[in-house]
């Protein structure tokens, strides 16, 4: 047992609690300066602000915006989509490639496409096509349904429609006919057997599609999607397959239509070195295809342009060790060099950047319904209580007697805390063996938590980030019950341990005194958020505020615009949340361009083949029987039916 004494070595005279908390402290704590730039920041009121047009446009107070949406009966949980951010991201991508083309005096162009699978929402795709019109920005489809979107929405004859994914004869025929309609679809051969279907569809229709080939690169990628390349990857042709495909196209008189080489390294490339290798390899394949007599003209570097979710600029899973400009420079410089050294004209460069375009534009805001916290009560212990409890009380009192002005040394802190934990374990063992009852066990737990609280008050500035302190704070951590479903709104946090920036959107001028994680509304024990960004690392607890009865506590999940919506599921029958599209006006205000209503309970029931009317009728008959039996009053039966009927029309989330 540690002997309690004053620490011999003072660490300075201010404990970590003494300075006033500012919004700058919050910005640093939540990494906002790192990942939020240029769109998200904090104002003097301690609210998160949004600059949808980046540095150049007006600023919105996110908390005020949420309140005003609530005023329009669009309460939380709410998905807010900033269409100006979408446009700004597209501008930046285009700009980065234009700068690189100028800097490296690249003789070709850049022409991007949006991979529809990243976010298929109508308003998102339409917005991107509208904003991208000036550069003939196109779409990439990975399935027949996505092809339908691309065919119907992209009307510019110069815009590319990249047709990826598995293709049957009808898919290919559709692409050929669309070319005659004046569109620019490129059928990318991803499987060796597709070339025969292309040949037979072309013979059938007496017309050919534009053709591309997806190459399986040998360059290894890294990160979660690293196995999207390499010999065992799902898509793409090996070099021998490419050679025989070229042969078959030549024999069928279709080699003239082979114009594009495609590769895709997998999403969220963390390390730029991986990209450089792939670009060199793909460049050589491009050169060889030209030499074999294909006209070529396009090189499509696929997706994978990463998002720096934690702003750490590292080659870790929630980050990237490069910027958008670095990426564009590498693509342009590497391929420029390759073509120049072989004296062939440089291709039009295509990227299928999805994540990098749509991640930033949507913010999910949810409210906290309650907090599960450890008890703050300190029980009184008498001499009649068991030795274990008396030991714990003594430990607690000894800590309480320590001055709060001379901080405790780390090693000593740990020693005292170990004592408390040991006594708590003893209490648990005694309980299991039947020596103490529930009441004593409760007291032991309360005293242990009390020890942690008293120790924290005496930690010095120097140790404020130490593991020892984190251990203490974790012992007191709270569960924040959140009004949303992980499985619906943030599925990747569950499925692939993806990290998104998560933080309160207000009270940021107040010191967050609690550590906590989030539990969602589902009955699934996986339905929780317990991993948070931490500047290149990951932490399991987030600094949060104590709930204030007078005000809803609102949390934002940021950078979730890519993949989350469509991957989300109806687990526990939680449906979509309300979504709003916000556009800045020329006067610096905003307007709500579109409202996409949340799924009602009727919607999600019908999705599972239940008929809400039928369910209501069964309930009505049950109430009728209960009325006959005298168990239910008519007025209560009506109240029950009213509740259920109203509920069917409302969203699946809890109301304020």
Ligand X SMILES: *Cc1c(COP(=O)(O)O)cnc(C)c1O
Instruction: Please identify the residue of the shown chain whose CB is closest to the bound ligand X.
Output: 303
26-34, 348-356, 371-379, 641-649 -> range binding ligand X (CB under 6 A): 348-356
At residue 310, the 3 state secondary structure works out as coil
Select 263 or 653, whichever has its Cβ closest to ligand X: 263
| In the complex, minimum distance from the CB of residue 357 to ligand X, in angstroms, rounded to a whole number | 8
Pick from 302, 311, 501, 560: which binds ligand X (CB under 6 A)?
Answer: 302
Distances (CA, A) of 615 to 371, 604, 622: 34, 13, 11
Among 81-89, 110-118, 404-412, 509-517, which window interacts with ligand X (CB under 6 A)? Answer: 110-118
Binding residues for ligand X restricted to 553-582, rule: CB under 6 A: 562
Among 108, 138, 283, 354, binds ligand X (CB under 6 A): 354
| Span interacting with ligand X, options 115-123, 170-178, 404-412, 462-470, rule CB under 6 A | 115-123
Among 245, 316, 317, 353, binds ligand X (CB under 6 A): 353
Q: Which of 51, 117, 453, 601 binds ligand X (CB under 6 A)?
A: 117
Distance (Å, whole) CA 50 – CA 38: 9
Listed in sequence order, the residues at least 6 apart from 158 whose beta carbon sits closer than 8 Å to its beta carbon are: 136, 184
Q: Which is nearer to ligand X, 60 or 118 (CB)?
A: 118
CA angle 300, 306, 310 (to 5 degrees): 175
- Alpha-carbon distance 423 to 572, whole Å? 41
DSSP annotation of 483 reads S
Q: Is the preceding peptide bond at 180 cis, omega within 30 degrees of 0? A: no
**Cβ proximity of 290 and 296 under 8 Å:** yes
- Token code pair at residue 124: 């998102």
Under the phi-then-psi rule, with left for phi > 0, alpha for psi from -120 to 50, and beta for the rest, what region is 477? beta
Distance, CA of 324 to CA of 245 (rounded, Å): 35
Q: What is the Cα–Cα distance from 195 to 214, expressed in whole angstroms?
A: 12
- Of 301 and 338, nearer to ligand X (C-beta) is 301
Choices 96-104, 261-269, 388-396, 420-428; region in contact with ligand X by CB under 6 A: 261-269
Q: How big is the site for ligand X, counted in residues (CB under 6 A)?
A: 19
Nearer to ligand X, 117 or 197 (CB): 117
443: tokens are 């007291």
* Least distance (Å) between residue 140 CB and ligand X: 6
* Shortest CB 388 distance to ligand X, Å: 56
Per-residue mark of binding to ligand X, 181-220 (x: CB under 6 A): ----------------------------------------
CB of 215 to ligand X, least distance (A): 12
236 touching ligand X, by CB under 6 A = no
What radius of gyration, in Å, describes the C-alpha atoms of the chain? 30
In which residue are the tokens 């620019």 written?
184
List 305, 332, 402, 515, residue binding ligand X (CB under 6 A): 305
Distance, C-alpha 178 to centroid of its chain:
35
Judged by CB under 6 A, which stretch of 111-119, 153-161, 475-483, 619-627 contacts ligand X? 111-119
Q: Are strands 160-163 and 502-504 parallel, antiparallel or unpaired?
A: unpaired
Q: Please count the helices (runs of H) and the strands (runs of E) in the chain.
A: 22, 23
Judged by the rule CB under 6 A, the positions of this chain that interact with ligand X are: 115, 117-118, 140, 142, 164, 264, 267-268, 302-305, 352-356, 562
């Amino acid at each position: 047992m540690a002997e309690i004494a004053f620490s011999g070595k003072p660490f300075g005279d201010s404990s970590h609690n003494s300075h006033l908390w500012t919004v700058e402290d919050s910005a640093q704590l939540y990494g906002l300066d790192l990942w939020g730039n240029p769109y998200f920041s904090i104002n003097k009121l301690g609210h998160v602000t949004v600059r949808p047009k980046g540095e150049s446009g007006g600023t919105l107070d996110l908390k005020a915006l949420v309140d005003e949406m609530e005023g329009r009966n669009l309460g939380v949980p709410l998905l807010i989509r900033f269409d100006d951010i979408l446009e700004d991201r597209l501008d930046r991508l285009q700009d980065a490639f234009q700068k690189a083309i100028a800097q490296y005096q690249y003789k070709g162009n850049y022409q991007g496409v949006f991979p529809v699978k990243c976010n298929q929402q109508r308003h998102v795709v339409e917005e991107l096509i509208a904003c991208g019109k000036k550069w003939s920005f196109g779409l990439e489809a990975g399935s027949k349904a996505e092809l339908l979107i691309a065919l119907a929405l992209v009307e510019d004859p110069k815009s590319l429609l990249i047709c990826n994914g598995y293709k049957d004869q009808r898919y290919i025929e559709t692409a050929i006919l669309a070319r005659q309609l004046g569109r620019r679809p490129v059928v990318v051969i991803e499987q060796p057997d597709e070339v025969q279907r292309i040949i037979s569809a072309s013979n059938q229709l007496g017309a050919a599609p534009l053709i591309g080939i997806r190459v399986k690169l040998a360059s290894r990628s890294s990160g979660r999607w690293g196995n999207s390349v390499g010999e065992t990857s799902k898509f793409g042709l090996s070099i021998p397959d490419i050679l025989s495909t070229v042969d078959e196209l030549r024999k069928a008189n279709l080699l003239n239509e082979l114009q594009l080489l495609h590769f895709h390294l997998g999403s969220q490339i963390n390390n730029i070195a991986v990209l450089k290798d792939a670009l060199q390899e793909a460049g050589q394949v491009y050169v060889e295809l030209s030499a074999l007599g294909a006209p070529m003209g396009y090189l499509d570097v696929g997706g994978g342009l990463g998002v720096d979710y934690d702003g750490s600029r590292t080659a870790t899973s929630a980050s990237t060790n490069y910027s958008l400009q670095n990426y564009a420079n590498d693509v342009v410089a590497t391929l420029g060099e390759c073509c120049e050294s072989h004296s062939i004209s440089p291709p039009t460069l295509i990227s299928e950047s999805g994540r990098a375009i749509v991640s930033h534009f949507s913010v999910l805001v949810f409210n906290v319904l309650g907090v599960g916290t450890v008890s703050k009560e300190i029980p009184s212990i008498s001499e009649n209580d068991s030795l274990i409890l008396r030991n714990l009380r003594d430990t607690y009192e000894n800590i309480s007697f320590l001055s709060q002005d001379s901080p405790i040394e780390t090693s000593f802190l740990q020693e005292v805390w170990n004592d408390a934990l040991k006594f708590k374990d003893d209490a648990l063992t005694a309980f299991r063996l039947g020596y103490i009852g529930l009441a004593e066990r409760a007291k032991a737990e309360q005293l242990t938590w009390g020890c942690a609280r008293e120790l924290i008050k005496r930690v010095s500035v120097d140790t404020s980030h130490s593991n020892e302190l984190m251990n203490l704070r974790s012992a007191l951590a709270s569960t924040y019950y959140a009004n949303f479903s992980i499985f619906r709104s943030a599925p990747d946090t569950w499925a692939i341990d993806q990290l998104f920036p998560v933080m309160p959107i207000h009270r940021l001028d107040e010191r967050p005194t609690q550590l906590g994680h989030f539990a969602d509304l589902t009955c699934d024990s996986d339905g929780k958020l317990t991993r948070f960004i931490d500047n290149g690392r990951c932490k399991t607890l987030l600094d949060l505020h104590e709930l204030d009865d007078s005000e809803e506590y609102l949390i934002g999940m940021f950078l979730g615009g890519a993949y989350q919506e469509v991957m989300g599921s109806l687990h526990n029958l939680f449906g979509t949340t309300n979504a709003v599209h916000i556009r800045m006006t020329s006067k610096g205000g905003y307007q709500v361009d579109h409202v996409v209503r949340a799924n009602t309970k009727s919607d999600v029931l019908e999705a599972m083949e239940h008929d809400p009317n039928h369910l209501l009728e069964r309930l009505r008959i049950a109430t009728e029987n209960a009325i006959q039996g005298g168990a239910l009053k008519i007025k209560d039966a009506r109240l029950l039916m009213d509740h259920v009927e109203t509920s069917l029309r409302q969203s699946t989330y809890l109301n304020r």
